Structure 1
């Protein structure tokens, strides 16, 4: 069970471009403390060790009820680390992070802090890879946070998506250079499958939130969204010209294939779609071959 208060986090610091794994605590723009882990690239998977530590970093956004220390997240990080440096973290309300889960809304602030940390360690290119809820977060983050381009450019929150959500992206180095959404929903409030009806029960009912806290180790905010955030299908078309990869299994029990098809269609020519035969849902269903292909896509120039 996890019920860690924010005041219990120890302080820590990581030197610029570390060659060893490091764990730290990040603070989001709204003051939530987020646990995070950095792993340098272990090699390129072809027998040669990485010699440049300012290359690509992959930031992994886990699914609902996941955390930085869950086996599936650590497995994905281990595969990704063969190709690039990796940052993993626990969303608010998950694992050892503070706050409460807003199930994909303010989690963009958690991801922004993790991306900025990767850049602060010297990585000039950062790719976000999100699974399920994390997939919706990386898509929305890609729309809300853009590279600062000088006068009139600004951070992503100053654009159309940020105005619609009433939010300003305050972190100038928090943008992603490419986005990968795995098993992500295209729209909110989807209840078309039995697993998603169970998720909605956990999120919306007081008894469900108790189950989430003590059974699933996830602390869920009881307040409804206000305002309702831009849905992933609305955000997907705002990521370009940066590349977007949409990955989905044809046996996903949570979200049927109209979700990835809608995301790819909304993104237009800027998206690549992989429909994986026999794959189920999110990081638990992603095998080593798929994770390796995602990492190869992420580091490709």
Structure 2
């Protein structure tokens, strides 16, 4: 049986000032043993997710602690001995602060890092698959769609069934399995660099984001408009206003809510950004417990609509 290896990586980029404004630079790595030029990437550790691995491998190879932006695509190629490798990539913006904090030193794996002007990158890459991936990145850069933020819709983790605890629905707690789910999703959610954590006022939602809050050192902001009680009342005015503010602010955030509320959250994201609705919304909002979807938008051009959606159902 042929073996399949999974890996993940990033195309790191930054804006640098020039005489005529700004220039986009892309990070290339020179690998020591292979003597090639490529992007940061590496194999998944046991039990690790693709987003988690992309962030970890980027940090280990470059010393840069990045958050993931747009998903750029997946590369497949054959290995010697009949194996196959699958690599997913994300764009990752590097701020001046991140660049200064890099701890990279040449080593036995990575010989050097090189920041290369956007127009010179393609000819420097050693592999055709990397060049094809870069073409996707280049298209986004040419349309000024690299600077993005994400809004992550998260369904609460598994909770005690109705009728087994407090009479009020919003007081239901997470089960032991739900608490484990909430811990499991932390590094996956953190990979997208949320700057805010919002939650329904229900205990099962607050319990779901508590581990993420502790990990990031960010407080949870309770929002009644994300609750099922408000949704049952049938007035979406406050929910629409809240989503509009999030899109206007352009900060990455996690929104923890309930199964019946999530489809309306998705629809409000479509309306707030002038996006085209479609079947993708159902897949992105009908989620299992602790499942989540990451919606990406342009910071400069939020009216460009939803640039991409990543769906992460959590295994039970």
TM-score by length of 2: 0.27
Higher gyration radius (CA): 2
The structure that is strand-richer by fraction is: 2
